[in-house]
Amino acid sequence: MPKIAPEEIAKIREQTDIVEIIGDYIPLTQKGKNFFGICPFHQDHSPSMSVSREKQMFKCFSCGAAGNVFKFVSDYENIPFLEAVEKVAAKVGINVHFAKGYKEPSKYEREYEIMNLAMVFYQNNLQTEAASKAREYLSVRGLTSEMLKTFDIGLSFTKDQLRKFLEGKKISNEEMFDLGLVNQKGTVYTDVFFDRILFPIHDPDGHVVAFTGRVYAKDATPKYLNSKETKIFKKGNILFNYHRAKDHVRLEKKVIIVEGNMDAIRMYASGFKNTIALMGTSLTKEQITLIQKLHVPVILMFDNDEAGALATHTNGKLLMDAGLNVSVVRLSGQKDPDEYILSNGVEKMAEVLKHPLTFLEFQYEYFKANKDLSDAGTLTTYVREVLNSLAGADPITVDITLNKLCEEYHLSYEVLKSQMLPIKEEKKLSK
């Protein structure tokens, strides 16, 4: 039996819901916060087994059988612990990576555990009766209960609930403050998030490291509130949904990058699971490294507005300079991929994704936008921008683009070509 690294096991456990898994083996009925079923480990007649979603544990009040999800599967199926881990991983769609040996646990185990507790706490809130307004809002926005579960979406109520809950778990105010879960005013600590729908942000290894909180009641501001940067959360080191998408990226042999978290969620839920979202307007060096590690071509599909076009231009250039193969999808009609799928359906999106522009084609159009090219000066600037962008491009692309310029603007191929060469040399020298 090959070994599995402990953090891998922890990751599988984090992404698993014990109620779902045990519910596949025995019927469970919810009573209050917990679920109950007939215990399979003794001759049970009344439901003696309690399963806690909050603690991710099961316990039989009659025979004393107890443990986490892996213990249940291992005991029920009578298989070794690691085989149970594999089985659970497969059920939740995680590829288990076999490690040669056990690695040291991360130095941030406790921080990850606390963030995970917070996430589960918020998730549970969303299931309560008091959450009906928030659930209604989510349902109107087209978020199904399956999507809420996949993306661990939760809800915060009043100001001090999470803090009290974590205090009950022996977690200090200082620890919560360091993780950006509470604010501090003198000696008083209060929750950061209240009356917000919470989207957990995971690091590339799948640890919950931050939250984005969105208001759902009208008039509240700011619309989005993000966790502050902490020792486990550096915004520039993270791409939203990267940990979920990376295996699908390898399968699909391409990665789709969108602007907003909601776009990534919609894309993923619509079957485009190789989608990640920017965490800001411009990619950092660390984020580019993360994308490089995927070793696949990139499709940029940002918002259908000027800011989105600018972001496509800026980030596309960064990725091209990093040696990546970049293509671009510009949507028309709706403002972003989320709305595009909601209005036009999944098949239309699949169709659009089949015909992306090369980055150079995108630039050709981008440099033109809002320009009056009947003006000779403006046209000259435009042509120079296009020629500049061709530096380093492959000769066929260069030829196609030059011919296009000649035809559209009645320019001489020779002149264009002669204007291109010095630019290319200049670029090489400055490297």
Enumerate binding residues for Zn ion (CB under 5 A). 39, 41-42, 60, 62-63, 65
Token pair for 138: 């989510």
| 216, two tokens | 């759902």
- In angstroms, what is the minimal distance from the CB of 41 to Zn ion? 5
The C-alpha atoms of residue 144 and residue 340 are separated, in whole angstroms, by 17
Question: What's the one-letter identity of residue 280?
Answer: G
- Distance in angstroms (rounded) separating the CA atoms of residues 21 and 17: 6
In this structure, are residues 78 and 93 in contact, taking their beta carbons and an 8 Å threshold?
no
Q: Is the peptide bond before 356 cis (omega within 30 degrees of 0)?
A: no
- The least CB distance from residue 38 to Zn ion, in Å, is 9
Nearer to Zn ion, 75 or 160 (CB): 75
6 vs 23, beta carbon nearer Zn ion:
23
**Nearer to Zn ion among residue 34 and residue 261 (C-beta):** 34
Token pair for residue 364? 């050709």
Smallest distance from Zn ion to CB 66, Å: 9
**β 34-37/196-202 pair status:** unpaired
Rg (CA), the chain: 26
| Distance in Å, CB of 81 to Zn ion, minimum | 20
Q: Which is nearer to Zn ion, 78 or 430 (CB)?
A: 78
* Closer residue to Zn ion (CB): 41 or 177: 41
Token pair of 82 as six digits: 């690691």
Closest separation in Å from C-beta 71 to Zn ion: 13
Instruction: Name 52's bridge partners.
Output: 57
Cβ 87 to Zn ion shortest distance, Å: 21
Alpha-helix runs per DSSP H in 355-394: 359-366, 376-389
Environment class of 353 (CB within 10 Å of its CB; exposed 0-12, middle 13-18, buried 19+)? middle
CA-angle at 260, arms to 240 and 198, nearest 5°: 70
Pick 61 or 177: Cβ nearer Zn ion: 61
State which amino acid sits at residue 54.
E
Q: How many CA atoms lie within 13 A of 200 on its CB side?
A: 30
Closer Cβ to Zn ion, 35 or 199, answer by number:
35
Least Å from the CB of residue 339 to Zn ion = 51
Q: Which tokens in the block code for residue 148?
A: 């809420």
Is the Cβ of residue 43 or residue 374 nearer to Zn ion in the bound state? Answer: 43
φ, ψ of residue 4 in degrees (nearest 5): -120, 135
Q: How far is the CB of 89 from Zn ion (least distance, A)?
A: 26
Nearest to Zn ion of 66, 400 (CB atom): 66
Query: Are 249 and 255 within 8 A, CB to CB?
Result: yes
Tell the smallest beta-carbon distance from residue 355 to Zn ion (Å).
59
